[in-house]
Amino acid sequence: MKNKVLKTIQKYTLIENGDILVLGVSGGPDSITMLDILNEIKNDDKINLNFEIIVCHINHMIREEANEDEEYVKKYCNKKNIQFYSESIDVKKLANNNKTGVEETGRTVRYEFFNEICKKTNANKIAIAHNKNDKIETIIMNVIRGTGISGLKGIEAKRGKYIRPLIECERFEIENYCEQNKLNPRIDKTNFDNEYTRNKIRNVVIPYIKKEFNPNIIETIDRLSDVVNKEDLYIEEQMKKEYKNILQEERNGQIVLNLKKFNNQEKVIKARLVLYTITRLLGNCKGIEKIHIEDIIKLCSNNIGNKYLTPNKNVKVLVKNHQIYFISQI
């Protein structure tokens, strides 16, 4: 399995010489396998890949075994002489205070902590232990909720500074690795609680599909994801070329596009242009939904007079003098 992970690292250029990695390690099978394999690769002179490992662990203070999970990861790191950082956060209490879901809150505090340690240690990448099964579960969840082409990509091996070295490994391979190497990972019993959507897909839906329709459903959906990834990348590249062609002005707080050239684009390119422009303007496109994109495209197609939209409190879109103004409200 070490060779399989190494091939993934090389295929997607996940790790390069001189990298400092922050690893999110809960102590479960996935994360302890990632840690163990990356540490093996790091110390293998034949591979000649020089990088540093820093381990981060969040104690969510939800399960009775949470302190034991933290101690397990800490002991592993001490034994292997690996830097270890941990933080305890009452996620349930925080979720109640913020009126957000426990899962969402847990994810938020984890990533905030990972980024905090990144800054503190000058690390340049964050390694997350998502595997192939996680990727397929995400795709199925996206389909159920309703998604465009991007939702069929699932979890990417590399996105910005986030890398996923186990993304091509199936869960059974990880479990076998843990057993063969006597890692004795911590088991989160909440993963068997089918009240959570992801757990129900993992424990009920996928086993049913395997039994009744396609025993190779994981590989089948993974191949679909690869095809979608390639096509999505091509469309994205075409959109960026068109963006350069229709861009008239780009400065702090404002981006101006040529209205006629925008309207001449195919609808799929228009939608991506809207998202891309807002992302360049604000740094992200949070809160921009399909209905907002459609409203902006409609606004631009009816190009008579001065009209504007405020799809959310952060951005204003104005059509004026044959131009489209995207104006930051932050």
What whole-number distance in Å separates Cα of residue 322 and Cα of residue 299? 12
- Residue 247 has a pLDDT of 97
**Structure tokens belonging to residue 99:** 């009126």
CB 158 within 8 A of CB 127: no
- Residue 95 has a pLDDT of 87
Residue 205 counted as domain residue:
yes
- Please determine, for residue 307, whether its predicted confidence score (pLDDT) is greater than 80: no
What whole-number distance in Å separates Cα of residue 80 and Cα of residue 36? 9
Residue 225 counted as domain residue:
no
**Structure tokens belonging to residue 16:** 């390069």
Lowest-confidence region among 181-190, 259-268, 302-311: 302-311
- Please determine, for residue 289, whether its predicted confidence score (pLDDT) is greater than 60: yes
Confidence of residue 6 (pLDDT cuts 50, 70, 90): very high
Q: Both 313 and 199 in a single domain?
A: no
Residue 201 counted as domain residue:
yes
Task: Provide mean pLDDT across the span 61-87.
Answer: 94
Q: Both 176 and 267 in a single domain?
A: no
Residue 60 counted as domain residue:
yes
Lowest-confidence region among 152-166, 183-197, 306-320: 306-320
- If phi > 0 it is left, if psi is from -120 to 50 it is alpha, else beta; for residue 6 that is alpha
What whole-number distance in Å separates Cα of residue 188 and Cα of residue 31? 12
SS3 assignment, position 256: strand
Q: Both 150 and 6 in a single domain?
A: yes
Strands of the sheet with 323-328, listed across from one edge: 247-251, 254-258, 323-328, 315-320, 307-312
Residue 153 corresponds to which amino acid? K
Residue 247 counted as domain residue:
no
Domain end point (choices 196, 220, 244): 220
Residue 288 counted as domain residue:
yes
- Please determine, for residue 311, whether its predicted confidence score (pLDDT) is greater than 80: no
Q: Both 77 and 166 in a single domain?
A: yes
Confidence of residue 84 (pLDDT cuts 50, 70, 90): very high
Q: Say which CATH number the domain at 292 has.
A: 3.30.465.60
pLDDT, tens digit, 9 for 90 and up, residues 115-137:
999 999 999 999 999 999 999 99
- Residue 63 has a pLDDT of 81
Residue 234 counted as domain residue:
no
Q: Both 191 and 60 in a single domain?
A: yes
**Closest among 97, 84, 90 to 53, alpha carbons compared:** 84
Q: Both 291 and 171 in a single domain?
A: no
- Residue 141 has a pLDDT of 93
Rounded to 5 degrees, φ, ψ at 71 are: -65, -35
Q: Both 197 and 293 in a single domain?
A: no
The per-type count for the chain, helices as H runs and strands as E runs, is 13, 11
Confidence of residue 305 (pLDDT cuts 50, 70, 90): low
Average pLDDT, the chain: 93
User: Cα 271 from chain centroid?
Assistant: 21
Confidence of residue 147 (pLDDT cuts 50, 70, 90): confident
- If phi > 0 it is left, if psi is from -120 to 50 it is alpha, else beta; for residue 48 that is left
pLDDT, tens digit, 9 for 90 and up, residues 197-233:
889 999 999 999 999 999 999 999 999 999 999 999 9
Residue 286 corresponds to which amino acid? K
- Please determine, for residue 314, whether its predicted confidence score (pLDDT) is greater than 70: yes
What whole-number distance in Å separates Cα of residue 108 and Cα of residue 295? 30
Total domain count, the chain: 2
- Residue 197 has a pLDDT of 87
Q: How many other β-carbons are positioned within 10 Å of the β-carbon of residue 225?
A: 20
Q: Both 215 and 263 in a single domain?
A: no
Residue 80 counted as domain residue:
yes
Q: Both 103 and 15 in a single domain?
A: yes
* Residue range of the domain that includes 150: 2-220
Q: Both 260 and 199 in a single domain?
A: no
Q: Both 210 and 85 in a single domain?
A: yes
Question: At which residue do the structure tokens 């303007």 appear?
Answer: 281
**Closest among 283, 271, 275, 261 to 328, alpha carbons compared:** 283
What whole-number distance in Å separates Cα of residue 86 and Cα of residue 66? 12
Mapped to the 3 state alphabet, what secondary structure does 261-330 carry?
A: HHHCCCHHHHHHHHHHHHHHHHCCCCCCCHHHHHHHHHHHHCCCCCEEEEEECCEEEEEECCEEEEEECC
Q: Say which CATH number the domain at 201 has.
A: 3.40.50.620
Lowest-confidence region among 31-35, 187-191, 298-302: 187-191
- Residue 304 has a pLDDT of 60
